[in-house]
Amino acid sequence: MTQLSLAYIFQHQKLLVDQNLELPKVEKLASDLPIHHNDQVIARDLLDDEIIPEGYQLVPIRELIQSWPTTAFLQASRAVQLLEWRRNHKFCSHCGHHTEIHPKEYAMVCPACGYHQYPRVQPCVITIITKGKDEVLLAKSAHKHYGNMYGLIAGFVEVGETLEEAVQRETLEEVGLKLKNIRYMSSQPWPFPSNLMIAFHAEYDSGEIELQIEEISDAQFFKFDQLPEIPFKGSIAHAMINEIIESNEKAS
């Protein structure tokens, strides 16, 4: 009997699942990407012209984060990032030759010059800024698809920068404030497309709110009990806001 593998089958950022959001089981193909070096779990691309099997649907992984347990979402997130990395590294970035898949590691290897291309994550800092005992800075994005939601200050770490410097720089750029007592909180892989979100708590130090209007349409300090619409459950921003408010409740 053929052994079936649990399959993460993606079309771009959408995952193939059945009506109960369960993954399909498939016969493994040579082109499949093993997940966790384990043949029982694989990832593959579903091409745009391939037919969606009966009883299955394509669900954006952004939606799965709200219905799946964290560990399941993280595995799906790993699968989609590895597939995207493999798709984007078919050629050697050093000499332009076709690459080959390394048999054991996650590496795309150039047979001509030997250059190895590995998957990369992009470090991204996200900061919850508090003022006094019961106020938090929340900012509304200038990009329309975020609607009325107020989130936290976030941005990519630049080359040669420490994480703390990135926190200070992003905050100064986006809302014109200086921070003190920057403390690490937690982290979360975020597959849109391949970020590692690194969460910090910082306290307001000085400055008046001054918006970077291309990025931020509004930013204010809100009282903990008068928050506007915040990011959805499952996002690191949601967890950070809850954690800060809960620790304040315990302290008071």
* Diameter of the chain measured on Cα atoms: 69
Type of residue found at 103: P
- Contacts by 26-29, CB closer than 8 A, 24 or more apart: 27/2, 28/3
**178 is an interface residue for Zn ion by CB under 5 A:** no
Query: What is the rounded distance in angstroms from the CA atom of residue 61 to the CA atom of residue 202?
Result: 30
Question: Among residues 115 and 221, whose Cβ is nearest to Zn ion?
Answer: 115
CB of 124 to Zn ion, least distance (A): 30
Q: Applying CB under 5 A, what is the total number of residues that bind Zn ion? A: 8
Tell me how far apart the alpha carbons of residues 185 and 55 are, in angstroms, rounded to a whole number.
41
Which is closer to Zn ion, CB of 112 or CB of 121? Answer: 112
Q: How far is the CB of 100 from Zn ion (least distance, A)?
A: 11
> Which residues does residue 203 pair with via DSSP β-bridges, in sequence order?
130, 180
Q: Looking at beta carbons only, is 99 or 235 nearer to Zn ion?
A: 99
The Cα–Cα gap between 116 and 106 comes to 10
Residues 86-105: x where in contact with Zn ion by CB under 5 A, - otherwise, as a string = ------x-xx-x--------
Among 17, 110, 157, 197, binds Zn ion (CB under 5 A): 110
CA dihedral 163, 169, 170, 174 (to 10 degrees): 170
Q: Are 58 and 11 in contact (CB under 8 A)?
A: yes
115 binds Zn ion (CB under 5 A): yes
Segment near Zn ion (CB under 5 A); pick from 109-117, 154-162, 167-175, 218-226:
109-117
Q: In the block, which residue shows the tokens 């954690």?
A: 243
* Closer of 7 and 92 to Zn ion (Cβ): 92
Burial of 30 from C-beta contacts in 10 A (0-12 / 13-18 / 19+): exposed
- Minimum CB separation from Zn ion for residue 163, in Å? 33
Nearer to Zn ion, 96 or 228 (CB): 96
Angstrom distances, CA of residue 235 to CA of 46, 151, 158, 190, 197? 27, 10, 23, 9, 10
**Least distance from C-beta 205 to Zn ion, angstroms?**
49
Q: Shortest distance, CB of residue 90 to Zn ion, whole angstroms?
A: 12
Scanning the structure block, which residue is given the tokens 């300090």? Answer: 221
Interface segment toward Zn ion; rule CB under 5 A; list 2-10, 113-121, 126-134, 159-167: 113-121
**With left for phi above 0 and alpha for psi between -120 and 50, is residue 135 left, alpha or beta?**
beta
| Shorter beta-carbon distance to Zn ion: residue 92 or 154 | 92
For residues 15 to 44, the per-residue mask of contacts with Zn ion, x marking binding by CB under 5 A and - elsewhere, is ------------------------------
- Of 92 and 128, nearer to Zn ion (C-beta) is 92
Residues near Zn ion, by CB under 5 A: 92, 94-95, 97, 110, 112-113, 115
